[in-house]
């Protein structure tokens, strides 16, 4: 079972986002290096999503991600995700 973090952006201008982005990317890169990230990135119509291999990794990430801590993500939720396809 994987855990998905679904975030809703705060609607800040790109300039404000880019000020925080280097710190956010450093955190993301660390989790990727640990091998716990399945996928991560923004939705084209706003908001963002990250898929983690474990709930523990997702919970740790949201406690230190600068986008969340500094208000660029106004809200988020964690959802358990079963990434299996059942036979038709």
Inter-axis angle of helices 14-33 and 55-62, nearest 10? 140
Report yes or no on 30 lying in a domain: yes
Residues in contact with 26: Cβ distance below 8 Å, sequence separation at least 6, in sequence order:
none
Label residue 85 by pLDDT band (50, 70, 90).
low
The token pair that represents 57 in the structure block = 């990794």
Q: Do 62 and 68 touch, CB atoms closer than 8 A? A: yes
Q: How far out from the chain centre does Cα 33 lie?
A: 15
Report yes or no on 63 lying in a domain: yes
- Per cent of the chain over pLDDT 90 is 86
The token pair that represents 24 in the structure block = 């956010």
Report yes or no on 88 lying in a domain: no
Report yes or no on 86 lying in a domain: no
Report yes or no on 23 lying in a domain: yes
pLDDT digits (tens, 9 = 90+) for 58-81: 999 999 999 999 999 999 999 999
């Amino acid at each position: 079972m994987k855990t998905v973090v679904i975030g809703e952006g705060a609607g800040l201008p790109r300039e404000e986002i880019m000020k925080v982005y280097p710190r956010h990317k450093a955190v993301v890169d660390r989790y990727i290096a640990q091998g716990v990230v399945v996928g991560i990135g923004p939705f084209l119509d706003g908001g963002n999503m990250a898929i983690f291999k474990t709930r523990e990794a997702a919970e740790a990430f949201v406690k230190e991600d600068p986008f969340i801590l500094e208000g660029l993500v106004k809200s988020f939720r964690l959802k358990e995700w079963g990434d299996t396809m059942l036979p038709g």
